[in-house]
């Protein structure tokens, strides 16, 4: 049976889809929806729909005070009305001035989930000249935790989870197109940004400044969300009967936030297991690329 599971996981199709989650779930030990989170404070970006909403909802009903961000104020207000202990902030992760204001006025956090993401059809840049996906999902998220850290608003031992994507597995880190590109392809750009997230998490975990926090990365598998339906209609049409539901995509995020099992900061996780972020060393950025990524991020921010 273990060999059969190994073959199914290697197929990717039957690992990232809902059947993969159902199979992996048999090995899960704890229920992450029945914890006492009273007096805990959480931040979830992109928390008004899909995976982010599933995470925010679960944390809220377990007693945590949840700050959630998003660009859709109507959805945010509806979430607030339906979930106790939640507070919505209208926030574009690509607008770094607004992120600064948010950090000045928020509380200190035990849990941070960096989930916000999108795949715009057309190329555009933020006011700092950075391609929108990179500006929000990579630089915006780093800017957020960097400012919170400087302000003493990330508690000691707090867990920070970056939500990446399995789509990055077949993408090498391309620094030449990461921050701006004359030939925009939404899917390639998305995969490149997600690869950069994984690399950044690995590098941050090596820095003394972040040693008193867990910085972790994961991918949720293939999940039925509005983003998938709208941005990848062909993939959705092919896979719609086999996609995970948002609560299944959220499971590993909650596990990383709440488990008492030993975790390794800087590592990559899928379905409650530490996994490799590389199908081959071809996709593992060099030391020079890693150093240049950090340099460029610091220059922009």
User: What CATH number has the domain bearing residue 45?
Assistant: 3.40.50.720
State how many domains the chain has: 1
Token pair belonging to 42: 């959480």
Residue 87 located in a structural domain:
yes
Q: What is the mean pLDDT of residues 24-37?
A: 94
Asked if residue 10 is part of any domain, the answer here is: no
Residue 18 within any structural domain of the chain: no
Residue 285 lies in a domain: yes
Per-residue confidence band for 45, with pLDDT thresholds at 50, 70 and 90: very high
Q: Is the pLDDT score of 84 beyond 90?
A: no
Range of the domain at 245: 31-300
- Could you tell me if residue 4 is inside a domain? no
- Whole-model pTM? 0.95
Is 7 part of any domain? Answer: no
Q: Is residue 38 part of a domain?
A: yes
List pLDDT tens digits, range 162-176. 999 999 999 999 999
How many Cβ atoms are within 10 Å of 251's Cβ, its own excluded? Answer: 26
Q: What is the pLDDT of residues 210-224, one digit of tens each?
A: 999 999 999 999 999
Asked whether residue 123 is assigned to any structural domain, the reply reads yes
């Amino acid at each position: 049976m273990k060999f059969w599971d190994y073959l199914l996981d290697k197929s990717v199709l039957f690992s990232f889809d809902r059947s993969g989650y159902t199979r992996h779930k048999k090995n899960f030990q704890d229920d992450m929806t029945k914890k006492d989170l009273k007096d805990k404070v959480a931040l979830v970006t992109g928390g008004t729909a899909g995976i982010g909403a599933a995470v925010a909802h679960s944390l809220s009903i377990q007693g945590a005070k949840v700050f959630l961000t998003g660009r859709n104020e109507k959805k945010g207000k509806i979430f607030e009305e339906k979930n106790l202990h939640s507070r919505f902030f209208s926030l574009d992760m690509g607008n770094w001035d607004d992120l600064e204001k948010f950090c000045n006025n928020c509380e200190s956090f035990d849990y941070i989930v960096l989930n916000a993401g999108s795949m715009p059809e057309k190329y555009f840049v933020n006011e700092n000249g950075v391609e929108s996906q990179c500006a929000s999902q990579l630089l915006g998220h780093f800017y957020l935790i960097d400012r919170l850290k400087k302000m003493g608003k990330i508690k000691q031992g707090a867990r920070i989870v970056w939500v990446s994507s399995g789509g990055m597995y077949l993408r090498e880190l391309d620094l030449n197109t990461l921050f701006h590109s004359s030939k925009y392809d939404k899917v390639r750009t998305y995969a490149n940004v997600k690869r950069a997230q994984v690399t950044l998490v690995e590098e941050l975990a090596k820095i003394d400044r972040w040693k008193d926090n867990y910085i972790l990365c994961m991918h949720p598998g293939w999940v039925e969300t509005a983003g998938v339906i709208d941005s990848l209609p062909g993939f959705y049409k092919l896979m719609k009967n086999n996609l995970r539901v948002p609560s299944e995509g959220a499971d590993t995020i909650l596990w990383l936030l709440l488990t008492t099992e030993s975790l390794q900061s800087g590592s990559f996780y899928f379905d409650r297991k530490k996994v490799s972020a590389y199908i081959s060393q071809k996709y593992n950025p060099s030391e020079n690329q890693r150093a240049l990524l950090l340099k460029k991020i610091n220059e922009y921010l």
